[in-house]
Amino acid sequence: MGAHRNFSPCRVKGRSRAMGLRPSPRVVQFRRVAVTGIGLICSVGIGTDEVWQNVLSGKSGIGPITHFDTEEFSTKIAAEVKGFKPERYIARKDLKKMARFIQFGIAAADMAIEQSGFKVTRRNAERVGVCVGSGVGGVEIIEREYRTYLEKGPSRISAFFIPSIIVNLASGFISLRTGAMGPNLANATACTTGAHSLGDSFRLIQLGQVDAMICGGAEAGITPLMVGAFNAMRCLSKRNDCPQQACRPWDKDRDGFVIGEGAGILVLEEMEHAKRRGAKILAEMVGYAATSDAYHFTSPPQDGNGALRSMRNAVQDAGIELADIQYINAHATSTELGDRVESMAIESLFGEHAASLAVSSTKSTTGHLLGAAGALEAGLTVLGIQNQIAPPTVNFAVAGDRCNLDYVPGAARPMFIEHALSNSFGFGGTNASLVFRRFQ
């Protein structure tokens, strides 16, 4: 499909329709999009460099839950962010206005903006937007304030309750801090949130509506209600005695995902805009697609059709061939059905080329960040391209049923990566795939 696409206007103004005239199709030239900044926070580190090095080394961030007492829970492990000090990024007086997911989002945005060297000014503010989503928002505040209501009555509910919990306030606070006056958006599409945020931002830049976007996802869902609810759905690993081996994508002994927290924020810019200011370009974002399974509210179809169409459409959107992809950062969460279906979809779509692909799941070290997962993993995919190395899948010993690909087991792999694909799939049957290209 490439950079030039024909679109027929869906509405004809003036007398053209009445006269039976058909307007000529207009040619839209999509602008190129550069990645110039990455900010990552998760269980294996606070800061992009630390996260990247620990993911490469296969260091697991999974351990016993410390946020609450797990005595009555069947799952007692999670991928918590350790040592996060929000006051390093946010004034103490403002912290009470922000749930933990917002704090993660702000800190990761600061990191991404600092790396990019991009500055929002009065001259460019209206051409800069923010799109940072979350799957569950400020759930820990909801739990806390409901206890307050039950114990002390409605008059004691915090005045900051609403603004601290709603999903769009991560974007809102980042916009306030930076002065970005363009689109101020937030997706809430379960585990696909971060990828959709990046993809939608990519489109806004391509179409010329903005010149730069601060975008991604933030999540802090390690709470009693969330862990208890996922246990009720039988989604979580119960490998409490060896937490660092609990997340086992594609392995025959996988028993569920491990919930994580953190944020992934990227700065995307129109390519020429980035070049003019001398920015270091980490990679080029070249393709995006979103699909729906239209099948079941939590389970993917057995044939992986939604995932297949998402990957296929993203590759087509990038204007490349399937054989041009060298690496896939998979959604693979360590669930029995999800891992198998995604692997089968890759095999079905890529055919003979599937055997040449390196496919890994960085969730094996970071845990599953829910609404922030897609953005964190997109950032890791970009770093893989930049450094020409595929991060590993840890804890993979024996392949599960119909899991037949090269999952980069155990150790990171130096390799040539010109194009890479990053997948995210979520409850509700929502899917997204992103394609990045090496910048030369």
> What is d(CA 42, CA 436) in angstroms, rounded to the nearest whole number?
22
> What is d(CA 303, CA 283) in angstroms, rounded to the nearest whole number?
32
Q: What angle do CA 58, 64, 70 make, to 5 degrees?
A: 150
CB 437 within 8 A of CB 283: yes
> What is d(CA 229, CA 206) in angstroms, rounded to the nearest whole number?
40
346 CB neighbour count, 10 Å cutoff: 24
Tokens of 217: 């996802």
Catalytic residue among 196, 273, 368, 419: 368
> What is d(CA 198, CA 421) in angstroms, rounded to the nearest whole number?
13
Count Cβ atoms within 10 A of the Cβ of residue 40 and give its class: 0-12 exposed, 13-18 middle, 19 or more buried. Answer: buried
Tokens of 328: 């896939």
The DSSP-derived string for 146-195 is HHHHHHH-GGGS-TTHHHHHSTTHHHHHHHHHHT--S-EE----GGGHHH
Answer yes or no: 368 catalytic: yes
The DSSP-derived string for 279-314 is PPP-EEEEEEEEEE--S-SSS--TT-HHHHHHHHHH
> What is d(CA 286, CA 206) in angstroms, rounded to the nearest whole number?
10
CB 288 within 8 A of CB 201: no
Answer yes or no: 403 catalytic: no
- Residues 6+ positions from 300 with CB-CB distance below 8 Å: 293, 306, 307, 337, 338, 341, 342, 425, 429
Answer yes or no: 296 catalytic: no
SS3 268: strand
> What is d(CA 271, CA 166) in angstroms, rounded to the nearest whole number?
33
Task: State residue 372 phi and psi, 5-degree precision.
Answer: -95, -10
What one-letter code names the amino acid at 82? Answer: K
Catalytic residue among 131, 196, 235, 331: 331
Beta bridge partners of residue 265, listed in sequence order: 39, 216
Catalytic residue among 131, 191, 235, 247: 191
List the catalytic residues.
191, 331, 368
